[in-house]
Amino acid sequence: MKKEILTRLFLPIVAIVLTTVACGNRKANTGKALSEDLTAKKMLQGVWLDEDEEDPAFRVIGDTIFYPDSTSQPAYFQIVKDTLILHGSNIVKYQILKQAPHLFMFKNQNGDVVKLAKTSDRSYLTYFGAKRPAALNQNKLIKRDSVVVYGNDRYHWYIQVNPTTYKVVKPTYNDDGVEVDNVYFDNIIHLGLFRGATQIYSHDIRKDDFDKQVPSQALKQSILSDIVYTGASTDGFHFNASVCIPDSPTSYQILIIVGFNGSIKYKI
C-alpha cells in the first residue's frame, strides 16, 4: 500500500520535472536559433558595389537593405552565424562565404558567388534617394464601349478599367540573383451591358471573382490586367478577362459570358 501511494506521488513529480526541463531546453534552443551576429550586422552598414562592374548592389541602414532600382522593396535582414536572412514575401537565406569591413561574399539562389565591395564614394547615395519604390502597372483609367446588333435588338457594352491602390507583391530576382519583392497595383474593372436603355448587367469585377478558375498561389501574385469584348452567340455576350502574373509569361484567360437575362458564367 505504501509503495502504491509513493508511486502515485512520484510519477506526477517526474512528469512536472520533465516538462519543465523540456520547456527550458525549448526556450534555450529558440533563443539560440534567433541570436544575431550584431558585429557582422554593423559591419554590413553602408553602400555595397558589385566588385567586377562597380554597380551599386544595395545599401544597408540599420536592419534594412535598400536596393538601387525603383521597383524593389526594402527588406528587413538578419545575420545569424554564417547566414544572411532576408525577410520579404518569403524568408530567404544566403550562405556568407566571407565578410570583412570592405568585403562581403555570399552564395545567391543559384549557388553563384556574389562578391561585393563597400564604397565610401558618396555619389552612389543618389541611387538610393528618398523616393518610394514605384509600383508597376498601367496606372491609368481605360474606357471602352461599343454598340452590337444581335437579332432584332441593339446592345451596348461598356468596360472601364479602374487602377487601384491595392498592392500585389511578387517575388523576383535581381541581377545578383537575390530575391526581392516588386509591388504592383491591381485593377477593378467595371463591366456593363444594356439592351437599348435597359440595363442587363452592371458589376465591378475583381481578380478574386476568379478564385475557382485560377490557383490560389497564382491569384495571390496576379493582377486583373484587362477585359475585352470578343463576340456574341446564342448563350450571350463573350468577354475575355486576363489575370496575369506581372513580368511573367504566366497568364490566365477567363471567358466571361453575360447572358441575355443578366446571368454570368466564368470559364477558364
| Per-residue pLDDT at 25 | 42
Question: What are all long-range contacts of 143-149, with beta carbons under 8 Å and residues at least 24 apart?
Answer: 144/228, 144/229, 146/229, 148/229, 148/232, 148/237
Say whether pLDDT at 137 is over 60: no
| Per-residue pLDDT at 2 | 43
Fold type of domain 38-128: Lipocalin (2.40.128)
| Per-residue pLDDT at 34 | 61
| Per-residue pLDDT at 131 | 56
pLDDT bucket at 250, cuts 50 / 70 / 90: confident
| Per-residue pLDDT at 165 | 86
Distance CA 146, CA 232 (A): 13
| Per-residue pLDDT at 74 | 93
Q: What does residue 96 show for φ and ψ, rounded to 5 degrees? A: -85, 125
Say whether pLDDT at 160 is over 90: yes
Task: Tell which residue, 11, 109, 128, 13, has the closest CA to residue 68.
Answer: 128
Q: What are the tens digits of pLDDT across the range 7-52?
A: 454 444 434 443 444 444 434 343 344 699 999 999 999 999 998 7
| Per-residue pLDDT at 183 | 85
Say whether pLDDT at 152 is over 60: yes
Say whether pLDDT at 186 is over 50: yes
Q: Mean of the per-residue pLDDT values for the chain?
A: 85
Selected from 3.40.190.10, 2.40.128.510, 3.30.300.30, 3.40.720.10, the CATH number assigned to the domain covering 142-267 reads: 2.40.128.510
* Proportion of the chain above pLDDT 90, given as a percent: 66
Q: What are the tens digits of pLDDT across the range 81-127?
A: 999 999 998 999 999 999 999 999 999 989 999 999 999 999 999 98
Taking the model in full, what pTM does it have?
0.67
Q: What does residue 180 show for φ and ψ, rounded to 5 degrees? A: -130, 160
| Per-residue pLDDT at 91 | 95
| Per-residue pLDDT at 224 | 94
More confident residue, 141 or 205: 205
Say whether pLDDT at 214 is over 80: yes
DSSP H helix total and E strand total for the chain: 3, 16
**What is the average per-residue pLDDT within 125-148?**
75
| Per-residue pLDDT at 266 | 96
pLDDT bucket at 134, cuts 50 / 70 / 90: low
